[in-house]
């Protein structure tokens, strides 16, 4: 693909991005106190809440365990901390992930010698494409309670799930979710969000920012796909070595490798930042096979 055609294709993909796409959301909300404040105010139903700090893709390292990269972290004027996570698939917003995010925030906010009461109030907020708990509600608030009495165990650690499937334009949260799934800024309900999206999609400067972001994203996905493919290839080699002389096992091994490569291609197709030809190259498949996978997903 020529540089000119690649540039054109990249900008076309930018037009299709929505806030529910986490990479686009990260760019939209980077240092954007006004937009993050609007989102938190609506979700918490606190119209007077003042956000004072916003960070995107903040990494919290863990020397003895798994580190965490937060999509968006914000702090308000009272010191309350908000972690906003975008998850297209419900599987990525599991209960224990929310618990882990909450614990990682706590682990970094209490200095040696400080009393435990110094821990700030925290909100871990997952915004998902589908109904994460399957109860048909637009929002779910999770807080600890004392089992024997039913009283609130007020440790100031909160988890909230917001369902992107509830886009009721008759209430504030529904309007916000509509904007998260809307591609056209002219059709959005909230001006701060619409203005940000319009800048990134409709101005030369914004398109340059997004094109560079998509390039970086595509490289990350391609590198990950190649690493997975090499790992699967090594696994296949070991399996074939152990199964030498047994044709059926070699056949199964090749089948598993093909399945793994197709799964990699499906991830790249879903990300929507690479051409069919580039996906085929990254996954080690034919262009025809990737085209079939893309058509199947579209159906």
Q: What is the pLDDT of residue 231?
A: 57
Give the residue with greater pLDDT, 257 vs 124: 124
Share of the chain above pLDDT 90, in %: 52
Mean pLDDT of the chain: 84
Backbone angles phi, psi at 281, to 5 degrees: -65, -45
Inter-residue contact 7 to 211 (CB < 8 Å): yes
Answer with the one of 182, 202, 222 that is the final residue of a domain. 202
**pTM of the entire predicted model:** 0.74
Distance CA 292, CA 63 (A): 43
Question: What pLDDT score does 222 carry?
Answer: 61
Identify whether 207 is part of a domain: no
231 in the same domain as 178 = no
Q: What is the mean pLDDT of residues 198-218?
A: 83
Tell whether 208 is covered by a domain.
no
Give the Cβ contact number of residue 102 at 10 Å. Answer: 19
Domain assignment of residue 38, yes or no: yes
In a domain, 262, yes or no: yes
155 and 180 inside one domain:
yes
Residue 164 shares a structural domain with residue 284: no
pLDDT in tens, 222-258: 665 566 555 555 655 555 555 455 555 555 556 667 7
Q: 81 lies in which domain range?
A: 3-202
| Residue 136 shares a structural domain with residue 233 | no
pLDDT of residue 112: 84
pLDDT tens readout for residues 146-170: 999 999 999 999 999 999 999 999 9
Residues 183 and 238 in one domain: no
Pair (181, 242) in one structural domain: no
Using the CB atoms, write b or e for 66-88: b if 16+ within 10 Å. Answer: eebebbbbbebeeebbbbbbbbb
Clarify whether residues 243 and 265 are in a common domain: yes
Does residue 89 register a pLDDT over 80? no
Mean pLDDT of 40-57: 96
């Amino acid at each position: 693909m020529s540089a000119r055609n690649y540039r054109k294709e990249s900008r076309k993909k930018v037009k299709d991005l929505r806030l529910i796409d986490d990479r686009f959301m990260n760019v939209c909300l980077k240092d954007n106190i006004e937009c993050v404040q609007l989102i938190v105010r609506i979700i918490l139903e606190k119209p007077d809440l003042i956000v004072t700090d916003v960070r995107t893709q903040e990494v919290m390292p863990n020397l003895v365990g798994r580190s965490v990269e937060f999509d968006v972290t914000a702090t308000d004027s009272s010191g309350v901390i908000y972690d906003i996570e975008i998850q297209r698939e419900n599987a990525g917003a599991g209960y224990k992930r929310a618990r882990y995010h909450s614990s990682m925030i706590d682990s970094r906010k209490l200095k040696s010698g400080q009393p435990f009461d110094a821990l700030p109030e925290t909100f871990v907020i997952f915004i998902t494409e589908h109904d994460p708990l399957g109860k048909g509600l637009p929002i779910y608030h999770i807080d600890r309670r004392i089992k024997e009495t039913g009283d609130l165990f007020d440790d100031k650690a909160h988890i909230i799930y917001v369902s992107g499937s509830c886009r009721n334009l008759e209430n504030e949260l529904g309007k916000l979710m509509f904007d998260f799934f809307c591609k056209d800024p002219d059709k959005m309900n909230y001006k701060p969000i619409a203005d940000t999206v319009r800048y990134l999609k409709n101005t030369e400067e914004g398109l340059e920012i997004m094109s560079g972001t998509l390039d970086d994203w595509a490289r990350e996905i391609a590198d990950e796909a190649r690493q997975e493919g090499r790992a699967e290839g090594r696994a296949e080699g070991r399996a074939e070595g152990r199964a030498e002389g047994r044709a059926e096992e070699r056949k199964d091994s090749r089948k598993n490798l093909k399945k793994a490569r197709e799964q990699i291609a499906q991830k790249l197709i879903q990300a929507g930042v690479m051409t069919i030809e580039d996906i085929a190259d990254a996954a080690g498949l034919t262009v025809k096979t990737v085209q079939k996978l893309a058509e199947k997903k579209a159906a």
